[in-house]
Amino acid sequence: MNNFLKKIIEDKREWQKMEARAKALPSDYKIVYHEIQKYMWKFSSGGGMDIVAILKDLLGLFEEGAADGKRVLEITGNDVAAFCDELLRNAKTYTENWREGLNRDVMKKLERN
């Protein structure tokens, strides 16, 4: 149990550091980052740590873009949802769980026939 609590505290500290980094972004980046964040949480599964890792990488990308003087849409493109979907491609999401469940259920039922 002690290791579990340490992990939770460590994760919370990491999250707070990420939020501080996001707060330091230029306003256009901040807006897009928080909208992406809201969008991605809709798809997270389990503890959501896949999403946290993606958001951490996204912060790095946004910080780099801002440092290079780029506007945020030069990074994401105008279709921000498509950009997000590409980021989510390798994450474990609820939709992936539903897809796996559907395929598993179909195969089980077909094997019984």
Q: What is the CATH number of the domain that holds 13?
A: 1.10.1900.10
Does residue 35 register a pLDDT over 90? yes
Number of domains the chain contains: 1
Please state the pTM of the whole predicted model. Answer: 0.76
Q: Write down the pLDDT at residue 46.
A: 59
What separation, in Å, do the N-terminal and C-terminal C-alpha atoms of the chain show?
Answer: 46
Distances (CA, A) of 107 to 93, 96, 104, 111: 21, 17, 5, 6
Nearest of 47, 56, 64, 45 to residue 87 by alpha carbon? 56
Contact 94, 43 (CB under 8 A): yes
Q: Which residue has the higher pLDDT, 96 or 74?
A: 74
Mean pLDDT of the 5-12 span: 84
Domain encompassing residue 20: 2-112
Which pLDDT value is given to residue 98? 79
pLDDT at 45: 61
Q: What is the pLDDT of residues 55-65, one digit of tens each?
A: 999 999 999 99
